[in-house]
């Protein structure tokens, strides 16, 4: 079993699990700070584009610390590590981002391809399944069939 197939799931559970009594406070705080986080992510991307990788990484980590359910800092970190040829680390952050914003079937296929390149067949299969399921469910024909079945029943 690889790091990708065990560590990401545990990390996502740790990041996304918020006790019930804190959910309201956390969600209202996130709504109030959203422009700040977007500005910080913009600055992190700008720093990375200018070659200041270390500062960009620290800025992304700060956004993750304050809003661990936002996919943007994980996507940026994935890009940073992909550009610096740290493919395993890039994949890990991309997987977290994909789990936080799982609607993109093409992204899941890209992650499956990255997993294959790194020799992780189990992770690749999981990514392909996720992507295929999303593509299948987003098909207009499937939606029409589902709506038809509701009317028949």
24 has pLDDT over 80: no
Within the chain, all domains assigned CATH 1.25.40.10 are found at 1-101
Predicted confidence (pLDDT) per residue in 26-82, tens digit: 444 455 457 778 888 999 999 999 999 999 999 999 999 999 999 999 999 999 999
**Which phi and psi angles does 79 have, rounded to 5°?**
-65, -40
> Would you say domain 1-101 falls under CATH 1.25.40.10?
yes
Q: What are the DSSP calls for 72-112, one per residue?
A: HHHHHHHHHHHHTT-HHHHHHHHHHHHHHSTT-HHHHHHHH
Average pLDDT, the chain: 77
Q: How many Cβ atoms sit within 10 Å of the Cβ of residue 52?
A: 14
Name the nearest CA neighbour of 108 among 122, 121, 120, 125. 125
pTM listed for this prediction: 0.67
Q: Supply the pLDDT for residue 136.
A: 64
The tens digit of pLDDT for each residue in 120-135 reads 999 998 898 888 777 7
């Amino acid at each position: 079993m690889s790091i990708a197939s065990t560590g990401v799931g545990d990390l996502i559970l740790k990041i996304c699990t918020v006790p019930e009594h804190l959910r309201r406070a956390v969600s209202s705080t996130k709504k109030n700070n959203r422009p700040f986080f977007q500005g910080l992510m913009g600055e992190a991307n700008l720093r990375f584009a200018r070659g200041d990788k270390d500062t960009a990484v620290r800025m992304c980590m700060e956004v993750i610390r304050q809003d661990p359910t936002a996919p943007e800092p994980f996507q940026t970190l994935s890009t940073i590590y992909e550009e610096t040829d740290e493919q395993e680390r890039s994949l890990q952050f991309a997987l977290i981002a994909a789990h936080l914003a799982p609607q993109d079937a093409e992204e899941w296929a890209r992650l499956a391809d990255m997993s294959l390149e790194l020799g992780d067949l189990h992770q690749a299969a999981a990514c392909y399944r996720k992507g295929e399921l999303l593509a299948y469910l987003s098909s207009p024909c499937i939606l029409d069939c589902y709506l038809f079945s509701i009317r028949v029943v």
